[in-house]
Every structure is written in structure tokens, then in C-alpha cells.
Amino acid sequence: MLKKKNITIAVTALNAIDSPGPGIAVIRGLRESEFYNVKIIGLAYEILEPGIYMDDMVDKVYQIPFPSSGFDAMLERFRYIQEKENIDVVIPNFDAELMTFIKLKPYFNKMGIQLLIPTKEQFEERLKGSLNEFGEKHGIKVPKSETIYQIDELEEVLKEFEYPVVIKGKFYDAYIATSFEQAREFYFKVSAKWGTPIIIQEFINGNEFNVTALGDGKGTMMGAVPMRKTFLTDKGKAWAGISIDDPKLIEMANTIITKTNWGGGLELELMKEDKTGDLYLLEINPRFPAWIYLANGCGQNHPEMLVKLAMNEKVKPLIKYDIGKMFIRYSYDMVCDLDKYEKISIHGEV
């Protein structure tokens, strides 16, 4: 039997809440690796992220500063953590932290930490506000969209659209507005939470599909699994979904990864228009989705593959996956002793 290699992997996004971060799903994949024996270092921003308290998922947890604290604060924290843990690979799983990790990558590499993440250019090219240009450049259909920074611009921009329109935040949140009044309300709602710019997007009438995929950073798609959400929370997040068989979705993921030389995990949000059957790209999320464990259940362990790629191991691209596999989330109350909460609160590590 193959002896598993010991490896230490740090993972962010331990917020396994109703709108979950992908961290715990990524860790589940890593824990099921047939190649690695993993030690997991959880990286948490907030002291009540549930993953901190999940002993079967994380071996040690460190609190890290929010990306808004700046590059130096994050670098200093990682120097401290690295001295203690000797991390081999870091997997960042939040959109909002990714730019900081992109900047930190050369420093991490010097410390002996590997990452497989998109480059600054790749990250910026797929920003929601740049999607029109992205579509034109790569020959991909995208809904018409405009980016605005001030409420004064809204009325003028809306003249170019027909209702309903979609009002989106730069990182998260999207609302469908059927009137100017609603659009205005959603502008304030989203900008209060995520700041500006706000993206005004054409509404495509059809079915939404998602694809999780992995790129090696050299133009090869290492794996992809498409999914349709079958149950949504009131926040519009997937609470259940099913893997599906649509080669067009895989082809779209392959086009994006090969044309951009994408490195790392990504999630595509796509809309298939009812009228035409055409596929529109709504968003590229630059990291694994929270439902990434479905890919593992379908026979493609993307987190393990990402680690292998980051560690320069040989990895064969995977094409096959199980169709008709479902995921269903559930809520679960953990009962924890106060000492963990105390340790993470006082010492920033546990």
C-alpha cells in the first residue's frame, strides 16, 4: 500500500454558517486524500467561525487579521504562524482576501509555503465590473452590464436596460429589481454592505447552473463538475444541489481555464437562456465554492489535486465524474467548552 505523505495545509473560510465559506468542505476533501496525511491549520478571521471548534476538521487554528488591516499585518502574522507550523500549502477560500494572498505569494514562497491561486491579472480580468470585456476577449456570452460608483448614475444607466435588472455587489449579493424604486433600494442595500462599485446587469430568463473546476495555471483544466441548485436558502444560497451531465458547461469551464491559464479553483455561475438555450457567463468566483465536497463525492477530489499541483506532484486531469449525485446541507449544534473560545479570544490561537 502507498505510504501517505505528511503535509501541513492552512485553510481559510471556516465560517460554516447558513451562507457558508468553502473552508470546511475543502478540509473534508483533504482529509479524504489517499495521497496525503494532512495536518490542517485553520485560519479564522472571527472567533465564532464554526470550523474553529470542529476538532475532527482542524488540528490547530490561528486568528488572522482582516485583509483591510493591510499587507504588513498579514505578513507578520504568517511569519509567526510559519515559525510554529511549517506550513506547506495555503488554500485561501474567500474572494475578499484573495488579492492580499496574491501580493503575499512571493513572500510565502520564500517562507516555504506554496499556493495555487490566480495571478493579479487573472483575478482582475474576471471581476464582475469587467465581465463585458472578459466576454468579448474570450468569445463568451455575458449579460450586458454596467458599473456605477454613485447613486446619481443609476437613473441614466437604467435607461440602457429593460426591467427586470440585476443589482449586484462587487464581491457578493445580487437582487432582481423590477422598477427604478427597487433598483435604488437595492443599490443602497448592497453598497452599505459591500461598498461600491455596484454592477447593473441584464436579467437573463432561464435556468442557473454552476461549475466547480480546477486549473493548473498553465492552461490545463484538471477537473470540472457541473451542478444545478435544487434548493435555495432565503439568501439565495444553495442548500441542496445535484451533479448533472451537460458537456456545454464543461466546455465553458475548459474554455475559460485554457484561455486564461487559470491557476487554482474556480466556480462558474452560468445561465442557460430558456428562449435560445444559449449559455451566459454570470460570474467567475476565483476560488472553490462552498459545495466543493460534491465534486469529491462525484469522484474528483479537487482540493487534493490543488495541493498536489502546488507541491509540483504529477497530476492527471480528470474527465469522468458521477452524474446524479446530490448534496444536502444540514444544521448541527456543537456543544463546546468555553476554554477554546477563551483561547482564541485571548491568544488568537487554539
Partner 1 sequence: MLMKLKKNIAISESGFVFNPEIGTSFTTNSLGVAILKQLKSKTSSEEIIESIIKNYEIDATTCEKDLGDFLRILDQFNLIDS
Residue span binding partner 1 (CB under 8 A) among the ranges 73-81, 138-146, 225-233, 290-298: 225-233
Binding flag, residue 246, partner 1 (CB under 8 A): yes
Say which amino acid occupies 89.
Answer: V
Q: Least distance from C-beta 227 to partner 1, angstroms? A: 7
Task: Extract the C-alpha cell encoding 290.
Answer: 462552498
| 173 or 322: CB nearest partner 1 | 322
- Binding flag, residue 323, partner 1 (CB under 8 A): yes
Task: Decide: is 230 part of the binding site for partner 1 (CB under 8 A).
Answer: yes
Taking the complex as a whole, the smallest distance from the CB of residue 258 to partner 1 amounts, in Å, to 24
Torsion of CA 295, 298, 302, 304, to 10 degrees: 130
Taking CB under 8 A as the criterion, the residue among 37, 207, 233, 276 binding partner 1 is 207
- Among all chains, which residue has been given the C-alpha cell 435556468? 207
Binding pattern for the stretch 139-158 against partner 1, x by CB under 8 A and - elsewhere? --------------------
- Output DSSP code: residue 114: B
Q: Which window, 7-15, 174-182, 235-243, 341-349, contacts partner 1 (CB under 8 A)?
A: 235-243
Buried b (16+ CB within 10 A) or exposed e, 230-268: eeeeeeebbbebbbbebeebbebbbebbeebbbbbbbbb
- Determine, following the binding rule CB under 8 A, whether residue 227 of this chain makes contact with partner 1: yes
Q: Which residue number, 75 or 242, has a Cβ lying nearer to partner 1?
A: 242
Query: Of these, 76, 245, 313, 342, which contacts partner 1 (CB under 8 A)?
Result: 245
Cell of 57: 476538521
Distance between CA atoms of residues 336 and 340, nearest Å: 8
The residues near 6 (Cβ < 8 Å, ≥ 6 apart) are 36, 37, 39
Cβ neighbors of 17 (< 8 A, separation 6 or more) are 50
Cell of 112: 516555504
Nearer to partner 1, 88 or 267 (CB): 267
Part in contact with partner 1 (CB under 8 A); list of ranges 74-82, 107-115, 172-180, 223-231: 223-231
Task: Give the count of beta carbons closer than 10 Å to the beta carbon of residue 160.
Answer: 11
Nearer to partner 1, 47 or 242 (CB): 242
Query: Does residue 278 bind partner 1 (CB under 8 A)?
Result: no
CB 228 to partner 1: min, Å: 4
* Min dist. Cβ of residue 135 to partner 1 (A): 23
Residue 94 to residues 52, 116, 177, 213, Cα–Cα distance (Å): 16, 14, 27, 16
Give the number of residues in contact with partner 1, rule: CB under 8 A. Answer: 14
For residue 279, the one-letter residue type is L
Buried b (16+ CB within 10 A) or exposed e, 184-200: bebbeebbeebebbbbb
CA distance 262 to 259: 8
H/E stretch holding 106: helix 95-111
Contacting range for partner 1; rule: CB under 8 A; set: 57-65, 98-106, 121-129, 239-247: 239-247
201: contact with partner 1 by CB under 8 A: no
Span from 48-56, 95-103, 145-153, 242-250 in contact with partner 1 (CB under 8 A):
242-250
Calpha distance 271→45 (Å, rounded): 33
Q: Kindly state the smallest distance separating residue 324's Cβ from partner 1, in Å.
A: 6
Pick out residues in 59-118 that bind partner 1 (CB under 8 A). none
The region of 8-16, 71-79, 188-196, 243-251 touching partner 1 under the rule CB under 8 A is: 243-251
Residue 133, all three cell numbers: 470585456
Nearer to partner 1, 124 or 208 (CB): 208
Q: Which is nearer to partner 1, 207 or 345 (CB)?
A: 207
Query: What is the identity of the amino acid at 64?
Result: I
Name the site residues for partner 1 (rule: CB under 8 A). Answer: 207, 209, 227-228, 230, 241-246, 272, 323-324
